Amino acid sequence: MMESVRLIFKQFNLKGTFKSACRYGSGHINETFLIHTKEKEHPNYILQKNNPNVFEDIPKMLQNIAEITDYLQIKQPKTQKLQLFKSPEGNHFVIDCNSQYWSAYNFIDGVSYDLVKNEKQAKEGGKAWGNFLAQLIDFPIHKLHITLPGFHDLRLRLTQFHEALQTGIQQRVDNNTALIAFIRSRENKMFDYQQSLFCSEIPKRITHNDTKFNNILFNNKDHYLCVIDLGTIMPGYIHYDFGDAIRTVCNTSLEDEKNLHKTNFNLSFFNVFAKGYQMHAKPHLLAQELKYLPFSPLFMAYLIGLRFFTDYLQNDKYFKTQYPEHNLQRAKVQFQLLYEMEKNIETMKGIIQDIL
């Protein structure tokens, strides 16, 4: 694999001489590599093999990233941010001998976290995603392609879930009747929430759509540098971004924690995240957006848990796994987190009302 990565690096004709490569990050979808160059005066790079099973039109996905990164470079020229490089042919990708698409980025020397350690990190996370919204508020939304149709559409995800119950691995279905009952008992409430978004004249914004905490880079003093992993950027609702961020920021356990007693909802992190978020986002938020914001973390935990469990029933075709029950455990964590959120929803509403 490393020889293949070296050849891809060479095809991009980037500055510097290839020295070494190693796998980088903890993403579920793409394969990512950190490239070290031999010369100190030349930067290191990120090479990413994009997953064709997720992105049906990778050139359009990369075009979205290029539009956003170019826009942010003009708007904030002195801050660190992602840069998407072109091949000598002028494309934002090169294609390897297996017809796989690769993209190349600058390497930003920061740190990311899978688990929030303190309130400072939580607040900085809120500032990062609030600023992301604010910086792109005037971006011409029509320039972006819908690269993942139905990505956060619960109707689609529930349809896939019910199909998996019929066509998935029967033993996995039979062994998880309690989990299936949990999902079904909340279907209508979650579906009604999303329909309310669709019917409330809430505007589409530029949304990241994968606002996990580990998609923020921090410096060594835990101040945020920038957000990364822009492959899912599309028009969407801010509730998807806010809710997805909260489900990782306020989860007291890792996403695949095997001891569910460790999975709880950290209300103090929710409070400081919301305070950080409003510092940049508040001037741009409408009353009808705020109305539906508190429930968005519950919706996203349900949606992501549903996707993990559906993939498990279908023999793990979508998300990368490390052991046979990996997606099942991920689903259980999300549903345990949802259960804890349900106990705190009234307090969450009060916090949003007071802060935003």
Overall average pLDDT of the 267-277 stretch: 98
Q: Calculate what percentage of the chain has a pLDDT beyond 70.
A: 100
First to last CA, the chain: 49
Overall average pLDDT of the 259-279 stretch: 97
Residue pair 8/96 in contact (Cβ under 8 Å)? The answer is yes
Domain spans of the chain, in order of start: 2-106, 119-355
pLDDT class for 333, splitting at 50, 70, 90? very high
Overall average pLDDT of the 241-259 stretch: 97
How far, CA to CA in Å, does 149 sit from each of 30, 83, 157, 233, 243? 18, 25, 12, 12, 19
- What would the DSSP string read from start to end of 227-272? E--GGG-EEE-HHHHHHHHHHHHSBSS-TT-S-GGG--B-HHHHHH
pLDDT at res. 210? 96
Q: Does domain 2-106 have CATH number 3.30.200.20?
A: yes
Radius of gyration for the alpha carbons in the chain, expressed in angstroms and rounded: 20
DSSP state of 54: T
Domain 119-355: which CATH number of 2.40.30.20, 3.40.50.300, 3.90.1200.10, 3.30.2130.30? 3.90.1200.10
> What gap in Å lies between CA 210 and CA 214, rounded to an integer?
10
pLDDT at res. 356? 80
pLDDT at res. 78? 73
Strands 45-49 and 94-95 turn out to be unpaired
pLDDT at res. 13? 87
Q: Which amino acid is at 147?
A: T
pLDDT at res. 77? 74
CA dihedral 90, 96, 99, 105 (to 10 degrees): -50
pLDDT over 80 (residue 39): yes
Residue pair 242/219 in contact (Cβ under 8 Å)? The answer is no
pLDDT class for 240, splitting at 50, 70, 90? very high
Partners of 32 in the β-ladder: 48
Which letter, b or e, does each residue of 5-33 get, where b requires 16 or more Cβ atoms within 10 Å of its Cβ? bbebbebbebebebeebeeebebbbbbbb
pLDDT at res. 28? 72
pLDDT tens string 163-184:
999 999 999 999 999 999 999 9
pLDDT class for 30, splitting at 50, 70, 90? confident
Rounded to 10 deg, the angle between the 238-249 and 119-135 helix axes is 160
- Across the chain, what does the average pLDDT equal? 95
pLDDT at res. 79? 81
Residue pair 11/87 in contact (Cβ under 8 Å)? The answer is yes
Q: Calculate what percentage of the chain has a pLDDT beyond 90.
A: 88
Entry pTM:
0.93
Query: Which among 234, 254, 279 is positioned nearest to 329, based on CA atoms?
Result: 254
Overall average pLDDT of the 251-271 stretch: 97
Q: Give residue for tokens 């060479």.
A: 10
pLDDT over 80 (residue 100): yes
